[in-house]
Structure 1
């Protein structure tokens, strides 16, 4: 994964399909997407949606589908550009066929803390963005991964977008306690 400026590095876990707490924090974050059964012993092909696949280990509790069915990993192993995963109590292909095309989640309150200056995407989305003079530019509504650096999409009340490159000198301060992001917009804005 690319590094943002040292004061803004983050990890992406999830892009969509989460519930929300009253304060806007997701209850569950998607770490995988179950595509289809594989073989006859209950394994399934899973696309990874996490930067931390090493945390998906046998015995780990996850939550499956929109109902957040608790499941425990029986086995997990790499397979080409995906993973093969199996759950305790689901030993054959017929039992896991119903899990096709469902997201696999972790609880947000069980996430390990990141080092100082690193943030999960769900912590940044929804922050109110201000320039150095204290003028509101809108709300951080999306994070684009472009290759060179991430880009924050900020939308104001009229729906206009401002695109801010996540580079040192533009993104100045993240304050999760006050729900604010302080930026120095590029001159072309």
Structure 2
């Protein structure tokens, strides 16, 4: 099973490097040189092997093997990068989840009232923040004081909102 790991948002320079917005967790592992990413483009699967990886101004900068010119990659701007889900080096600890397991889950408060669905996750350094879309967008910090339970199979998350979190 393949999961989304990012989107090519732009090219960088003229030698085929691209800026990627991550949609994933474990980017240090997923974007290592030698890793293979797939793009579904115009009905075809294009496999790209990462030649180099660095972080620059909040973006993940990737260069792929065999692509040495902006003209070879520019047509793939805005394409989604996919990777095989089962990644042997990634062992999840207790209370760790793949982003793809959390995105799409419905978030409820402790009275079982639905708040919305997780549509995006971003890292802050201290902890992840889940963007939950309901009647409006809420930013839910993934911390033990707030997130009480995660049921990946049932696609359900229960939180105890901190004061002001849902205002």
Q: How far has the Cα of 1:27 moved from its partner? A: 4.3
Q: 2 CA distance for matches of 1:55 and 1:101?
A: 20
Gaps of 5+ in 1: 1-25
Match of 1:83 in 2: 61
TM-score calculated relative to the size of structure 1? 0.59
Match of residue 85, structure 2, among 109, 112, 129:
109
Other structure's SS at 2:72 match:
helix
Q: 1 CA distance for matches of 2:127 and 2:19?
A: 24
Which 4+ stretches in 1 moved above 6 angstroms? none
- 1:18-57 to 2 correspondences below 5 Å: 27-31=2-6, 33=8, 35-36=10-11, 38-39=13-14, 43-48=15-20, 49=22, 51-57=26-32
TM-score calculated relative to the size of structure 2? 0.65
**2:105 corresponds to 1:127:** yes
Q: How far has the Cα of 1:30 moved from its partner? A: 3.3
Q: How far has the Cα of 1:173 moved from its partner? A: 0.9
| Greater share of strand | 2
Q: 2 CA distance for matches of 1:146 and 1:37?
A: 23
Gaps of 5+ in 2: none
Which has the higher Rg, Structure 1 or Structure 2? 1
State the Cα RMSD in Å: 3.6
Aligned length: 156
Residues 7-54 of structure 1 show CA distances to partners (whole Å, capped at 9, x for unaligned) of xxxxxxxxxxxxxxxxxxx84413352633755xxx412224254244
Match of residue 141, structure 1, among 118, 131, 134:
118
Other structure's SS at 2:101 match:
helix
- Does the aligned pair in 2 maintain the 1:64–1:70 contact within 8 Å? yes
